[in-house]
Amino acid sequence: MLKNVAFILIVATFTSCDAATLQQIGSTLGTGILTDGEVGSGLKEALDIGISKGADELSQTDGFFKSPYKILLPPEARKISDRLQNVPGFKNFEATVLEKINRGAEDAAKKAKPIFISAIKQMTFKDALNILMGADDSATQYLKSTTNDKLYTEFNPVIIESLDKFEARTYWEKGVNAYNRIPLVQKANPDLDDYVTQSALNGLFSMVAKEELNIRNNLVARTSDLLRRVFARQDKK
């Protein structure tokens, strides 16, 4: 008797819902089969969230400079700074360059979001289900492997503009040129653009991977019906 009452109540509840509500209930219950397109869209949405949160966080003051993603100087910079200790105007060379390049990266991160999102929208997942069911950073690694060159090309001018805003390149070049005038030293490369661009991209990819991990493991982070449906599939692996 109780079973019959329960069944009647369930039917009454479902029949009183509109189509949109029924679809939401069905999704929540895990009914319906995900298509490849839905899995791909869910992965893109997760990456969108990752880059949005990552760029917002890294673009804050000290987002790079006082974080695990701090951009350190190229290896040759430390030997340069050591030799410049007694050169007028360059006593604090390393500390000054460090702050300038990280401030430049923080400024560039503000403009990184649309560049990344454009690349994400253009992605085609050849095997979306394998990516979904793969490692916790599989979607991020796929994004990196398929778009890194394009992202570098578009992001490098942004980095240069931001470095120049803080006079990082000018200061670095002056220091390196002063170092290169010291007798018997091995000449150093004054080009800083490539190094900072690669380092900033690595920081952004790390932030995307961090959010992908959060969405994969934290139900609360799945803030849309699509994310809940898609990542519920990987919960079963």
Evaluated on CA atoms 58, 62, 65, 67, the torsion sign reads: negative
> Do residues 6 and 101 both lie within one domain?
no
Average pLDDT over residues 210-225: 96
Q: Distance between CA 145 and CA 4 in Å, rounded? A: 56
> Do residues 115 and 195 both lie within one domain?
yes
> Do residues 151 and 225 both lie within one domain?
yes
The answer to whether residue 1 scores a pLDDT higher than 70 is: no
Model pLDDT, residue 32: 57
- Pairwise pLDDT comparison (120 vs 176), residue with the higher score: 120
The answer to whether residue 21 scores a pLDDT higher than 50 is: no
> Do residues 6 and 120 both lie within one domain?
no
> Do residues 18 and 103 both lie within one domain?
no
Name residues whose C-beta falls within 8 Å of residue 50's C-beta, 6 or more positions apart in sequence.
140, 207, 208, 209, 210, 211, 212, 215
> Do residues 91 and 170 both lie within one domain?
yes
Q: If pLDDT is split at 50, 70 and 90, which confidence band does 226 have?
A: very high
> Do residues 73 and 148 both lie within one domain?
yes
Average pLDDT over residues 156-165: 96
> Do residues 79 and 8 both lie within one domain?
no
> Do residues 204 and 222 both lie within one domain?
yes
> Do residues 4 and 46 both lie within one domain?
no
Q: Where are the alpha helices (DSSP H) in the chain?
A: 2-15, 19-28, 36-58, 75-83, 93-109, 112-121, 128-132, 138-165, 168-180, 193-217, 225-235
The answer to whether residue 111 scores a pLDDT higher than 60 is: yes
Name residues whose C-beta falls within 8 Å of residue 190's C-beta, 6 or more positions apart in sequence.
172, 173, 176, 177
CA 169, chain centre distance (Å): 25
Domain extent for 1: 1-32
How many structural domains does the chain have? 2
> Do residues 27 and 67 both lie within one domain?
no
> Do residues 162 and 231 both lie within one domain?
yes
Q: What is the mean pLDDT of the chain?
A: 85
Question: The whole model's pTM is what?
Answer: 0.81
pLDDT tens, position by position, 55-81: 999 999 999 999 999 999 877 777 888
